[in-house]
Amino acid sequence: MKRSIKPNNGLESIGPYSPGLQVGPLVFVSGQLPVDPKTNKLVEGDIRKQAAQVFENMEDVLKASNMSLRQVVKTTVLLQDMNDFSQVNQVYAIYFSPPYPARVCYEVSALPMGASIEVECIAYDTTDQDLQLDIDEDDCGGDCGDDEA
């Protein structure tokens, strides 16, 4: 069964799509733009400020399904200018922590509303113990990201 997810911040989709869609333990968050939910306009400022707004909007969609950025397993980042890549990475590292989600990043010629960045994600609901992923150390060559000093 699938369920549409709308964030509680009042931000509306700019087209005929759900901000998020839950299907079983997975939540698919549609591409988030750097839109201020109070004004429904793009935030002003550099790419770092825009990226931060994107992740705040993404987090709001996830919260509406009782999830968080910690449960994100995959992101797709769209940039209008690949020269923004390193600055976006700095902001990304503030919102996500190891083990980081799998990710792909593309440069595109244009984004909706003239935005410089758009990010979509897939999150996995870990609240159902029967659906928890069991990671065997052998599955990741003994390096599953839990390095101890």
CATH at residue 101 = 3.30.1330.40
pLDDT score recorded for residue 143: 53
* 105 tagged catalytic: yes
Q: Give the per-residue pLDDT at 126.
A: 81
pLDDT in tens, 107-139: 999 999 999 999 999 999 987 554 445 544 454
Read off the pLDDT of residues 71-90 as tens digits, 9 standing for 90 and up: 999 999 999 999 999 999 99
Active-site annotation holder among 105, 121, 140, 144: 105
Is the residue at 87 inside a domain? yes
Distance CA(105)–CA(63), nearest Å, equals 24
Would 139 be classed as within a structural domain? no
Range list of H helices, the chain: 47-63, 85-95
Confidence (pTM): 0.83
- Domain range for 105: 2-124
In a domain, 134, yes or no: no
Is 69 within the bounds of a domain?
yes
In a domain? residue 137 = no
Assess if residue 105 is contained within a domain: yes
Task: Convert the pLDDT of each residue in 87-104 to its tens digit.
Answer: 999 999 999 999 999 999
Q: pLDDT per residue over 32-72, tens digit each?
A: 999 999 999 999 999 999 999 999 999 999 999 999 999 99
- What domain count does the chain have? 1
Residue 133 lies in a domain: no
Residue 60 counted as domain residue: yes
Dist. CA 29–CA 46, nearest whole Å: 24
Instruction: Give the pLDDT band of residue 147 (cuts 50, 70, 90).
Output: very low
